[in-house]
Structure 1
Amino acid sequence: MATTSPISARRRIAAWILLTTGLTLLALLLTLRSLMHHDVDHAANTAISQETEEFASFTREGKDPRTGEAFTSLKSLFEVYLSRQHPNEGEAIVGVSGGKVQFQDNSRARTSDGAVYELPRHREVLQAIQSSPEPGGVIATPAGDVRWGKVDVAANREEGHLIVVEFTSVQQERNDHILFMATMISLGGLVLTSAIAWVVAGQILEPIRSISRTARKISESDISLRVPVRSRDDVGELAESFNAMLDRLERAQETQRQFIDDASHELRTPLTAIRGQLELLDEDPVSRRETLHLVDQEISRMGRIVGDLLLIARSERPDFIQPREVDLAEFMVELEGTLQGLDSRPWVLEDAVAGTARVDAERLKQALLQYAANALQYSPEGSPVRFGSRVVEREGVRMLDFWVRDEGPGIAEDQRSLIFDRFSRADQLKDRHDGFGLGLAIVRGIAHAHGGAAWVESELGEGSSFGLEFPLSVIEYRPDTEEVAP
């Protein structure tokens, strides 16, 4: 079962952005802290190594400046060497010989509470370093952990050590201050990111909220509202899809309403006739047979009306037609054979385009037969009916055209735009036949379902031409020749 979150999408988006940004900043700060601490330790180790290597080189090559000879005591060795050194901040160099310590003035550091820590005065630390079998390491002091290195030295049977110490706490505290400032800036950036994420999430979700507001306003009787589309991104595409869905629903609702209106209007007459006949029904057998015959006719008429209305309503559905590749020349030959069986008058196939197209052959044939039936009804008996297919170009668009031409009375210009409407017939034809006026509406539905249109050309007293036209690109027409009719 699907569950819904009580937290709004806007809050969830902002929270996820805040979480991912916060985790990224945290990882960045931790990595920066590790790198900075590593750099401090690496710099301390490098300084210690450099100092011990310099001292080892001095003991091998150094001369006592007072005698010009090799040093005879560790005291003079340390005094000369240490007098030439200039330790960096946080660095202490201590010489230990005969239990005495010789050191520089800056062999000190400040503790976290501001007190001065002098390494030579803390003999327990020096003793721990001297007694260590390792040449270097880390030891805890009141001034924090320090890194140290030592060099064993002997002169004239004296043994001693040069001890180099790096106080890293001062630099670490500076780094920690930098990290603290970076953390504060990151927190400020996180707050700013949260505000931006909140605003941006609101802007992104505004079309969705607009869709929701529109959906709440839509009623069963009015679905004319549409969502404004202000962007071309995914959310804008969603709004367009929602509007397209509303268009389809509105068309379906209009089709349903039109069907109900047409059915109620057209069925009222036969129902009234049936009721009137039944009210007059008596016991006379002849009268009863006549009445039942009239009732049967009216019921059949109602059935035809309902069937035609349902067909028109279905023409609005996407599955109304089932297109397949059709050989157009064979189609026209088959159509000619069918027309020959309708009436003995001449049926003249004037033109048949060669090639294939994706159409619903059954629906197309149904439309052309409706045109032919109209020609039979409204043209003089025995007059020829001409028909055919061709490729034409109208307004720069190549069309596949099917047409039927009769020699009937023709249709006035002001009536031509109406004859494809439901229950509509031209004034010149109303007295010629008692049809329902649905046939041409069905033809128009078939044409629209194929992506085309139905058309009529007529001159009063000279006959009419009815046709269907389909854009070649829509029906995927593939010609056998490239000839185009004028």
Structure 2
Amino acid sequence: MTADPGRPWVSARLRILLWLVVVMAVALTAVAAATRSVLLRDVDHRINNLLAQEAEEFANLARNGVDPRTGQPFTDPDPLLRLFLERQYADPDEELLGLVGRSGQAPARKMQFREGRVDHPLAEDSRSLNTIFESANATGTLHRRQGEVRWAKVEIKASAGYPPAAFVVAFHPEGEQQKAGNVFTMLIAISGVALLMTTGIGWVVAGRILRPVRLVRTTAAQLTEQDLTQRIPVQGRDDIAALAETFNAMLDRLERAFAAQREFVDDAGHELRTPITIVRGHLELMGDDPVEREETVRIVMEELDRMSRIVEDLLLLAKAERPDFVTPEPVQLAELTADVFVKARALGDRDWKLAGTVDAEGFLDSQRITQAMVQLAQNAVQHTVPGQRVSIGSRARTDGIELFVADTGPGIQPQDHEVIFERFRRGTARRGSRATGAGLGLAIVKAIAEGHGGRVELRTTEGGGATFVLVLHEPREVKDLKEAVR
């Protein structure tokens, strides 16, 4: 999937920074808003407590107080209100009012508040005083054009001959609310500064974190098929360092794969070039003599057959990379070993021996295993002479099974033990002059063994010769599948 050339390119560093800024801005705004909400709720709580406290103090005086002039309980509301107001001291933004009713007129008022601390005092608003005095509620909120007023009222039960009266405590919350607003504004300003600092720090940190990623991109851009030597320096032990290590490991595999591919192409070209050269040379020199023409045709057909086998082997090795190269199923190992033995006996005049079978059931691809075993038997025939013994058998292991082909030929030099399983490699020392082929047979055997999750081993035959062993394990998933099939 390629990037849309019409869309603007935005770096990962910038996207990380933008997300960080957005998240920080939302978080800081939420903190400031929550702080403002808490402060306003605290203001409401303090105002309610203040109104309730003032009202309760006046109610106690009205119930239990005595007139200092007479020494008797208050009957006239006027001295009661005067005495209470004289003893109190209004808080900032607070008004203490005594209202005495007058027939057909606004109530007479006696008030106490701090001059200069209350804008548009309630005491100077006759309409609002009438509204509160006539209200049936003990508390309330008065919304005026000049500002909100929170109030509480204690009515004084009028004695005979005295007008109705009430004590009112009023509070103007604008000042306290403004303080909460100032705190909110200050928090927003601090958040803005913190956001700017976070942006700068985030830009630097994101750059340092993404530096290995940029190195990955730069290194990938510099890679070519001819130069796969670039590597990324690994620093630290975090996820980015793990990414760099993984990328370096991938480059190692790519370098080995490209080297193997080039070697494979060179070897394949060399192996195919030889029969092509032979065919072309004989065709160019072919005369009119029927015997010569028949010999030329025979040689050409043999070389074409050899090229066909090379191509088929190459296709088989290419298919070995696919997941469906082998299709395992339950197989009786004794029967499979006997079938391989019967087929191998037709390969040449040798002293063939069935060296034991394992009476067990294996989970493998019988056709591929037969192909590998026959290839090993053919290899044994090529490196032995008539009459020499070639043994075929199978045996059990603690972790799987072994199928083997052992010959009594000249054996294989130690330096060739690993080389012979590579494609187009036959080793530095040939085991017999009759050996032919492109050097793909043992590579195919190795691919089949590895396709079963096993391996092929080369061992020395007792008394001389070579023993090729297919070691096939049974992974847990294979065992589970086998149980399911049963």
Give the TM-score, by structure 1 length.
Answer: 0.83
Q: CA deviation at 1:334?
A: 2.9
The corresponding residue for 1:68 is 71
Amino acid at match of 1:49: A
1:145 paired residue among 120, 135, 148 = 148
Tell me which of 329, 332, 338 is aligned to 2:337: 332
User: Which residue matches 2:277?
Assistant: 272
Contact 1:90–1:108 (8 Å) recurs in 2:
no
In structure 1, the residue corresponding to 2:355 is in which secondary structure?
A: strand
Answer whether contact 1:412 1:458 (CA < 8 A) is retained.
no
The code of the aligned residue for 1:103 comes to M
User: Aligned pair 1:376/2:381, yes or no?
Assistant: yes
2:370 and 2:473 mapped to 1: Cα distance? 18
Query: What is residue 166 of structure 1 aligned with on the other side?
Result: 171
For residues 384-437 of structure 1, give each alpha carbon's deviation from its aligned partner in whole angstroms, at most 9, with x where no partner exists. 3222233457xxxx5643221111122333343433342415635242333333
Provide the secondary structure at the position in 2 that maps to 1:164. strand
2:101 equivalent to 1:101? no
Partner of 1:432: 434
Asked whether the equivalents of residues 213 and 240 of structure 2 are also in contact (C-alpha less than 8 Å), the reply is yes
Corresponding residue of 1:41:
44
> Contact 2:33/2:184 (CA < 8 Å) preserved in 1?
no
Q: Which residue among 2, 27, 33 is the counterpart of 1:30?
A: 33
The offset of 1:467, in angstroms, is 1.7
Within the candidate set 11, 15, 23, 2:18 is matched to: 15
Residue 209 of structure 1: CA displacement? Answer: 2.5
1:81-101 CA-to-partner distances (Å, cap 9, x unmatched) read 223334444322111236543
In structure 1, the residue corresponding to 2:469 is in which secondary structure?
A: strand
Task: Tell me if the contact between 1:357 and 1:476 (Cα under 8 Å) persists in the aligned partners.
Answer: no
The answer to whether the 8 A contact 1:451-1:474 is kept is no
Moved more, 38-47 or 339-348: 339-348
**Which residue among 97, 117, 134 is the counterpart of 1:110?**
117
Which residue of the partner structure matches residue 483 of structure 1? Answer: none
Give the share of equivalent positions with the same residue, in percent.
39
Q: Given that residues 406 and 461 in structure 2 are in contact (C-alpha distance below 8 angstroms), is that contact kept between their aligned partners in structure 1?
A: no
1:418–1:16 Cα change, 3 Å: closer
The answer to whether the aligner puts 1:452 opposite 2:459 as a matched pair is no
Q: Is the 8 A contact 2:142 2:149 kept in 1?
A: yes
Q: Structure 2: any 5+ residue segments left out of the alignment?
A: none
Distance 1:353 1:213, change over 3 A: farther
Q: What letter matches 1:446 in structure 2?
A: I
The reply to whether residue 52 of structure 1 matches residue 59 of structure 2 is no
Aligned partner of 1:360: which letter?
D
SS at match of 1:158: coil
Structure-2 residue corresponding to 1:216: 221
Q: Contact 2:383/2:432 (CA < 8 Å) preserved in 1?
A: no
Counterpart-to-counterpart distance in 2, 1:435 and 1:374: 10
Partners of 2:350 and 2:381 within 8 A in 1:
no
2:182 matches 1:182: no
Change (3 A) 1:333 1:300: closer
Structure 2 residue identity aligned to 1:438 = L
Please give the root-mean-square deviation of Cα atoms over the aligned residues, in Å: 3.5
Go from structure 1 to structure 2 and tell me whether the alpha carbon gap of 1:351 and 1:202 turns closer, same or farther (over 3 Å shift): farther
Q: Tell me the distance in 1 between the aligned counterparts of 2:34 and 2:421.
A: 77
Residue by residue over 1:250-272, the C-alpha shift from the partner in whole angstroms, topping out at 9 and shown as x without a partner, is 45534432332112212222222
Map of 1:466 onto structure 2 = 468
- CA distance in 2 between partners of 1:357 and 1:229 (Å): 46
Q: Which residue of 1 aligns with 2:206?
A: 201
CA spacing shift, 1:202–1:324, aligned 2, 3 Å: farther
Say if 2:384 and 2:432, in contact at 8 Å, map to a contact too: no
Question: Bigger CA drift: 264-273 or 81-90?
Answer: 81-90
Contact 1:256/1:313, CA 8 A, preserved across alignment: no
In structure 2, the CA distance between the partners of 1:326 and 1:210, relative to structure 1 (3 Å rule), is: farther
Match 1:360 to one of 360, 365, 369 = 365
Alpha-carbon offset, residue 78 of structure 1: 0.9
Deviates further, 325-334 or 6-15 = 325-334
Contact 2:382 2:432 in 1 (8 A): no
Match of 2:420, SS state, is: coil
Change in 2 beyond 3 A, CA 1:20/1:68 = same
Shift of 1:28: 3.0
- Partner SS state of residue 165, structure 1: strand
AA at the equivalent of 1:445: A
* Cα 1:471/1:224, change in 2 over 3 Å: farther
Change in CA separation of 1:9 and 1:428 when aligned onto 2, cut-off 3 Å: closer
Q: Please state how far the C-alpha of 1:8 moved relative to its aligned partner.
A: 1.7
Q: Deviations over 1:427-465 (max 9, x none)?
A: 352423333333223223333444433322337972221
For 1:348, which of 339, 350, 353 is the aligned residue?
Answer: 353
Q: Which residue pairs with 1:412 in the alignment? A: 413
Amino acid at match of 2:50: A
CA distance in 1, matches of 2:295, 2:349: 33
Cα pair 1:95 1:162 within 8 Å, conserved: yes
Equivalent residue for 1:284? 289
Verify the 8 A CA contact 2:407 2:461 in the aligned structure 1.
no
- SS of residue matched to 1:388: strand
Structure 2 distance, partners of 1:62, 1:130, is: 23
Superimposed CA distance per residue, residues 293-320 of structure 1 (whole angstroms, 9 cap, x where no aligned partner):
2222222222222322333344345543
- How much does 1:140 deviate? 5.8
Question: What SS class does the counterpart of residue 71 from structure 2 fall into?
Answer: coil
| Pairing 1:77–2:80 present | yes
Q: CA deviation at 1:472?
A: 4.6
Contact 1:419 1:426 in 2 (8 A): no
| Structure 1, gaps ≥5 residues long | 481-486
TM-superposed deviation, 1:213: 1.6
Structure 1 residues 370 and 272: CA distance shift in structure 2, 3 A: same
Indicate the larger mover: 227-236 or 406-415. 227-236
Question: Match for 1:96: what amino acid?
Answer: L
Residue among 256, 259, 264 paired with 1:259: 264
